Amino acid sequence: MEIRQLISFVKIVQMKSFSRAAEDLGYSQSALTVQIRLLEQELNTRLFMRTTKEVSLSGDGELLYQYARQITALEEKIRDTFLRN
């Protein structure tokens, strides 16, 4: 599991779209999809319920989202602390 996967996961949840999240993060949609598939494989679970129009979180996705928000907030705090100059 990599921090960039968690950042991507959180962005997808917030934007409710793989394509909008990919654009915002500067990734191709296929690269973002690969990140999430690898994360799902590593955790041995589906994180999203995908339809043609939107994505929603699975039960495990909801749980991961709570953890991922905490981790990404801490990562931002670390960057702010050390890169403030």
Which tens digits make up the pLDDT trace of 38-52? 999 999 999 999 777
Confidence of residue 53 (pLDDT cuts 50, 70, 90): confident
pLDDT in tens, 18-40: 999 999 999 999 999 999 999 99
Q: Which amino acid is at 60?
A: D
Confidence of residue 12 (pLDDT cuts 50, 70, 90): very high
Main-chain dihedrals φ then ψ at residue 51, nearest 5 degrees: -125, 180
At 85 the pLDDT is 61
Contacts of 65 (CB under 8 A, 6+ apart): 9, 10, 13, 57
Distance between CA atoms of residues 66 and 26, nearest Å: 24
Q: Is the pLDDT of residue 76 over 90?
A: yes
